[in-house]
Amino acid sequence: MSETRASGGHRDPSANHSRQIPTRPNRRINNEQERQLEGDRQRIIETLKKGVHNKLNRSGLSSSQLIILRPRVSPLPSSSPDSFNYLSNPRLYCLEHGIQPDGYLTEERKKADPDHGFSTFFSETGQGKYVPRTIYCDLEPNVVDEVRTGTYRSLFHPENMITGKEDASNNYARGHYTVGKEMIDQVLDKVRRVADNCAGLQGFLVFHSFGGGTGSGFGALLMERLSVDYGKKSKLEFCVYPAPQNATSVVEPYNSILTTHTTLEHSDCSFMVDNEAIYDICRRNLGIERPSYENLNRLIAQVVSSITASLRFDGSLNVDLNEFQTNLVPYPRIHFPLVAYAPVVSAAKASHEANSVNEITSACFEPNNQMVKCDPRNGKYMATCLLYRGDVVPKETHAAVATLKTKRTIQFVDWCPTGFKIGICYQPPQQVPGGDLAKLDRAVCMLSNTTAIAEAWSALDHKFDLMYSKRAFVHWYVGEGMEEGEFSEAREDLAALERDYEEVAADSMDEEVEAEY
């Protein structure tokens, strides 16, 4: 989440990956070793100069409220960044609601229905301007400064963009215990002010990364404090999960395991996405050979918009924040739904696709349309939310679900036979001008709680074990006030989480065996 360069005299833990941790504090280093270390340092600096930082979001709703953090993303090929890279969600919401970059309504929207769901994500000022219920926070200013100076600079309240002076250097402990602790009270004060202006606060959507120092450390600290101050309000996370092959930092497994352990009791529902999966979707479905972060963010924005659409627009089957956890989370710890979105088609291909309700529903159950690299055919579904938008009627959705239930590749656990929660919003998906996605009459976002998501955890746990067995990079965390025992505690908690998923699947298998007898 925060940049990997060291600041304030602190070194990036991942920059030390080319040599072993010193066993003696006064070990001599000869000239050849010094030249090698200097070469490694220069290569890391050059890599960072070429990297582009993505800005997702962090949010909560207006009957909720938005909080936006700066996540790290994988170093995929990218064009030069602009403020839109960090504003994909707010920009899309503005287009959907007819709000201009300065916060005022378009002439067309003024003539339409005046109460068009604005209050969910926007508050209205006395001058008729709409301001997002959003808080941007980061431990260093570079990325948020691009929002402050970008096209949408007049849209956001300047006091709700909070930055520190030094980053977390890819270190969970810096984000959670040292640098982050200095800024948390200021952020919570802004959260209280925005929450007090909500007519009926439903909860928070928090966007952050798992692999970076700010996203993992400060994100976990914020979730802890939100639980204390707003214990009964929903807290939903959108997490940028470390991609299996495209790593931005050597210490991503440490940060990810530590933040998951810390937030496990404080998050009601966590929607994970990984850059590798989204990159593959853009390349395969949209024909983009070298997707940029803007391409990735536009797709993620469509997913988030679909999830929150029923809060903002009319529909026959609306879903609110509380319903997500009620319908998706059978046990408190099993709260990591798999996200899928369909159809993802380019404008060139759209005219050749029927995109019927039945087709797009079936597409969501294919691994190629899912936001995390795992194969749901290897697991069993506990619950599924199908969130339709656009030209869709209940009769078509029921027929599509009936077709799904006949497929042997889609298996539900025996103790949850119903399986499907359906939401319909009449507002069709909105496309960003000049974007990659085709303008469509209908779309569906699927949120499914499946035991297959444990595959993602097991791969990350394996990487954690390889490093921690040698205690590699641990001293950087201990040096920031963290106890070494927290590593073992976090790893044991993740092992227990994997076992929880295994037991859920095993219970279903046991019942199947009993039925055969």
Q: Residue ranges of the alpha helices (H) in 412-484?
A: 454-468, 474-478
- 409-413: Cβ within 8 A, 24+ apart: 409/365, 409/377, 410/365, 410/381, 411/380, 411/381, 412/380, 412/381, 412/382, 413/380, 413/381, 413/382, 413/451, 413/504, 413/505, 413/507, 413/508
Q: Which of 140, 133, 192 is nearest to 163 (CA)?
A: 140
- ∠ CA 313-314-320, nearest 5°, is 70
Tell me how far apart the alpha carbons of residues 70 and 436 are, in angstroms, rounded to a whole number.
24
Tell me how far apart the alpha carbons of residues 503 and 508 are, in angstroms, rounded to a whole number.
9
Give the chain's radius of gyration (CA, Å): 23
Q: Residue ranges of the alpha helices (H) in 271-393?
A: 275-285, 293-312, 321-328, 347-350, 357-363
Contact 143, 167 (CB under 8 A): no
How many CB atoms sit inside 10 A of residue 40's CB? 15
3-state secondary structure of 109: helix
Q: What's at 375, amino acid-wise?
A: D
H/E stretch holding 224 reads helix 219-229
User: What is the torsional sign of CA 26, 28, 33, 38?
Assistant: positive
- For 390, phi then psi, to 5°, come to 100, -145
Contact 139, 172 (CB under 8 A): no
Active-site hit among 3, 289, 294, 323: 323
* Strand bridging mode 269-274 / 234-241: parallel
Query: Is 323 annotated as catalytic?
Result: yes
Tell me how far apart the alpha carbons of residues 203 and 90 are, in angstroms, rounded to a whole number.
18
So which residues are the catalytic ones? 323
